[in-house]
């Protein structure tokens, strides 16, 4: 039987066994799976908060929860989803698993630091969970001063410490990736032969390493302010609350690119594999990742257009924010150009890639709306902004994460997921997502402010549509969880390269052996060279 044969061959899953072999593993692939389990739990938790928010907003009167509870719900939704799901999602799960394999390495440069990163995320998560169970936090995920430092009577410090600790997880992951890309590439794997997924992760790692420490020190200052009342952000002593906003967004705007750049890397892999063509303008796409990372550090001030920032600063930040659209658009155009005359197959990962390109384009273009000084004054703190960043975070990052998970699932587990169900759920997620968030653009433009749990009656129909969409989205997310679990036992056994993909990770067995490759490969061709890929693609759909 084929199944038996698969189970007998030694791979990273059966090389050692027992709980200890997982909790003390130094194997980047197992650590990737530890992250997968952890962030799936946080995704579920953040989803519960989102559900409560959407149910509350069904009615204009706000009957389900009090306004205090509502403040805690949207805060904890944001904190959980951003710091404990989205930021670790693609880099820590897929990046951890595949970055070393894609460059032909046996592991990351620092496997023990990699394991430490996971523990830091778990410890940070426990702090945040404790805060949530003990009574929650109500400052918004942005922790704006002086509310967070002086007035809020909720668990600000525990939550902030959780984010502080989880931040070091992100920093160390970035550090590990940079060193790995510099020092661990296989013979012949030059910089311009690396898959674009690796380039995207390299750019992401730069942001993690340069941005996250600033958030960390900001949290230290908030901590000192709240505990010792040192006055750094307290106007009573001459301190400036807006300084907090500058420091916070210096990290938190680039953090958006920590979430979206790896997603772009995934989409590059998907688009190439499923149109069997190299990515059009490979070098330009590679550099556009780095350009986004660099420019992303120069736009934080667009979060402060209405915070009393000088008009001239506003103009510069507005201009620079428009500038970021260029490398982003380059990617979208180049993916589209890659499709031209490609042999396109509509496998599930490709459906997610298409979903990403469309939704990211909408999210990106509405980003230009809010980067414009005049329009931003009108839509600041409205649902327009909420819809905009959910198109990037959910429509972009989560779409790509799910697409990547489907794409690499056969490699991770050695099994194929059921294609029919997968296509259905991709469709359900796409429809549910748009039904949830498109009405929010209209709501915001009409003047519905964010973070309010009551609203005028005239907004109800759009809120009901949004809540209905959220229910569809929840079903869409539940289906993959079920069939992924199902496929672990009953899925068709996948060969080494079920998609006929070109990356090094497909040139080893599925699941891979503990050291990734039986022999370290020698790279002799450019990335996405399909001329050497033997036609072993399985029939899909």
Partner 1 sequence: MASEAHVPVETLALREQFDTEAQQKDASTLGMWIFLITEVMFFGGMFCAYTVYRRAYSDAFAVASASLNVTIGAINTAVLLVSSFTMVLAVRASQLGQRRTLILFLVLTLIFGGIFLGVKAYEWNEKFEQHHVPGPSFHLDGVPQQGHAQLFFSLYFAMTGLHAAHMVIGVGLLSWLIWMAYKGTFTAEYNTPVDIAGLYWHFVDIIWIFLFPLLYLIDRHLPK
Q: Which residues on neighbouring strands pair with residue 275, listed in sequence order? A: none
Q: Note whether 399 and 356 are within 8 A (CB).
A: yes
Supply the minimum distance, in Å, between the C-beta of residue 234 and partner 1: 8
SS3 category, 98: helix
SS3 category, 451: coil
Residue 132: burial class (beta carbons within 10 Å; 0-12, 13-18, 19+): buried
Residue closer to partner 1 (CB basis): 15 or 48: 15
**How many CA atoms does the CB half-sphere of 353 hold within 13 Å?**
28
Supply the minimum distance, in Å, between the C-beta of residue 206 and partner 1: 10
- Length of the chain, in residues: 541
CA distance 217 to 221: 6
Residue closer to partner 1 (CB basis): 205 or 400: 205
Supply the minimum distance, in Å, between the C-beta of residue 173 and partner 1: 12
Supply the minimum distance, in Å, between the C-beta of residue 170 and partner 1: 10
CA distance 168 to 163: 9
- Alpha helices by DSSP H, listed for 276-398, are 282-295, 311-339, 348-371, 373-379, 383-392
Supply the minimum distance, in Å, between the C-beta of residue 520 and partner 1: 6
Q: Note whether 32 and 411 are within 8 A (CB).
A: no
Residue closer to partner 1 (CB basis): 94 or 247: 247
Supply the minimum distance, in Å, between the C-beta of residue 237 and partner 1: 4
Distances (CA, A) of 520 to 28, 111, 149: 16, 18, 53
Residue closer to partner 1 (CB basis): 218 or 321: 218
Supply the minimum distance, in Å, between the C-beta of residue 102 and partner 1: 15
Residue closer to partner 1 (CB basis): 58 or 209: 209
Residue closer to partner 1 (CB basis): 180 or 321: 180
Q: Note whether 149 and 226 are within 8 A (CB).
A: yes
Q: Note whether 495 and 538 are within 8 A (CB).
A: yes
Supply the minimum distance, in Å, between the C-beta of residue 531 and partner 1: 22
Residue closer to partner 1 (CB basis): 211 or 469: 211
Supply the minimum distance, in Å, between the C-beta of residue 194 and partner 1: 17
Distances (CA, A) of 89 to 42, 72, 286, 331: 10, 24, 21, 21
Supply the minimum distance, in Å, between the C-beta of residue 321 and partner 1: 21
Residue closer to partner 1 (CB basis): 268 or 508: 508
> How many CB atoms are located within 10 Å of the residue 332 CB?
17
CA distance 406 to 424: 13
Supply the minimum distance, in Å, between the C-beta of residue 247 and partner 1: 5
- Alpha helices by DSSP H, listed for 111-195, are 111-134, 156-183
Q: Note whether 432 and 472 are within 8 A (CB).
A: yes
Residue closer to partner 1 (CB basis): 156 or 214: 214
Supply the minimum distance, in Å, between the C-beta of residue 215 and partner 1: 9
CA distance 500 to 273: 7
DSSP character at residue 24: T
Supply the minimum distance, in Å, between the C-beta of residue 264 and partner 1: 23
CA distance 174 to 179: 9
> Residue written as tokens 């986004």?
292
Supply the minimum distance, in Å, between the C-beta of residue 210 and partner 1: 6
Distances (CA, A) of 463 to 57, 64, 344, 364, 497: 6, 15, 38, 23, 45
Residue closer to partner 1 (CB basis): 20 or 183: 183
Applying CB under 8 A, the residues found at the interface with partner 1 are 105-111, 113, 171, 175-176, 178-179, 182-184, 187, 209-214, 216-218, 220-221, 224, 228-232, 236-240, 243, 246-247, 250, 513, 515-522
Tokens of 281: 């303008």
Residue closer to partner 1 (CB basis): 178 or 422: 178
Q: Note whether 53 and 73 are within 8 A (CB).
A: yes
Residue closer to partner 1 (CB basis): 220 or 326: 220
Residue closer to partner 1 (CB basis): 294 or 424: 294
Q: Note whether 137 and 156 are within 8 A (CB).
A: yes
Residue closer to partner 1 (CB basis): 290 or 339: 290
Distances (CA, A) of 57 to 15, 50, 62, 440, 475: 50, 11, 7, 12, 19
Q: Note whether 514 and 438 are within 8 A (CB).
A: no
Among 18, 69, 86, residue whose Cα is nearest residue 453: 69
């Amino acid at each position: 039987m084929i199944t038996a044969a698969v189970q007998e061959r030694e791979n990273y899953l059966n090389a050692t066994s027992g709980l200890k072999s997982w909790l003390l593993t130094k194997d980047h692939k197992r650590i990737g799976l530890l992250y997968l389990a952890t962030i799936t739990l946080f995704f579920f938790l953040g989803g519960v908060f989102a559900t409560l928010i959407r149910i509350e907003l069904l009615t204009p009167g706000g009957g389900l929860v009090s306004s205090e509870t509502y403040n805690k719900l949207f805060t904890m939704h944001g904190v959980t989803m951003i710091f404990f799901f989205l930021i670790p999602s693609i880099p820590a799960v897929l990046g951890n698993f595949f970055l070393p394999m894609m460059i032909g390495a046996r592991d990351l440069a620092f496997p023990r630091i990699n394991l430490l990163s996971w523990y830091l995320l778990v410890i940070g998560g426990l702090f945040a969970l404790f805060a949530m169970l003990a009574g929650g936090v109500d400052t918004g995920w942005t922790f704006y001063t002086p509310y967070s430092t002086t007035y809020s009577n909720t668990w600000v410090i525990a939550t902030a410490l959780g984010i502080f600790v989880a931040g070091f997880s992100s920093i160390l992951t970035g550090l590990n990736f940079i060193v790995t890309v510099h020092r661990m590439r296989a013979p012949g794997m030059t910089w311009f032969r690396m898959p674009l997924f690796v380039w995207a992760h390299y750019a992401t790692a730069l942001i993690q390493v340069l941005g996250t420490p600033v958030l960390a020190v900001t949290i230290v200052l908030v901590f000192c302010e709240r505990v010792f009342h040192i006055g750094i952000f307290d106007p009573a002593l001459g301190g400036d609350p807006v300084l907090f906003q500058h420091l916070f967004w210096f990290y938190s705007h680039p953090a958006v690119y920590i979430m979206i750049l790896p997603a772009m890397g995934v989409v590059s892999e998907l688009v190439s594999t499923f149109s069997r063509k190299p990515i059009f303008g490979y070098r330009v796409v590679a550099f556009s990742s780095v350009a986004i990372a660099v420019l992303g550090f120069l736009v934080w001030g667009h979060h402060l257009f209405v915070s009393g920032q000088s008009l001239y600063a506003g103009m510069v930040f507005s201009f620079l924010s428009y500038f970021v659209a260029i490398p982003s658009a380059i990617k979208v155009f180049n993916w589209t150009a890659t499709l031209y005359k490609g042999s396109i197959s509509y496998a599930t990962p490709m459906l997610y890639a298409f979903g990403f390109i469309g939704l990211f384009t909408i999210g990106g273009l509405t980003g230009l709306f809010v980067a414009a000084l005049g329009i931003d004054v009108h839509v600041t703190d409205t649902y327009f902004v909420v819809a905009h960043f959910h198109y990037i975070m959910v429509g972009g990052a989560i779409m790509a994460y799910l697409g990547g998970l489907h794409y690499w699932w056969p490699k991770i587990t050695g099994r194929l997921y059921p294609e029919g169900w997968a296509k259905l759920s991709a469709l359900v997620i796409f429809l549910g997502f748009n039904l949830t968030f498109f009405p929010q653009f209209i709501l915001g433009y009409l003047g519905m402010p964010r973070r309010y749990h009551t609203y005028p009656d005239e907004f109800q129909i759009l809120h009901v549509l949004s809540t209905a969409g959220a229910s569809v989205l929840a079903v869409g997310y539940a289906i993959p969880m079920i069939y992924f679990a199902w496929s672990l036992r009953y899925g068709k056994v996948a060969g080494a390269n079920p998609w006929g993909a070109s990356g090094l990770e497909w040139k080893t067995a599925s699941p891979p052996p503990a050291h990734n490759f039986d022999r370290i490969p020698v790279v002799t061709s450019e990335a996405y060279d399909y001329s050497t890929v033997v036609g072993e693609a399985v029939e899909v759909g």
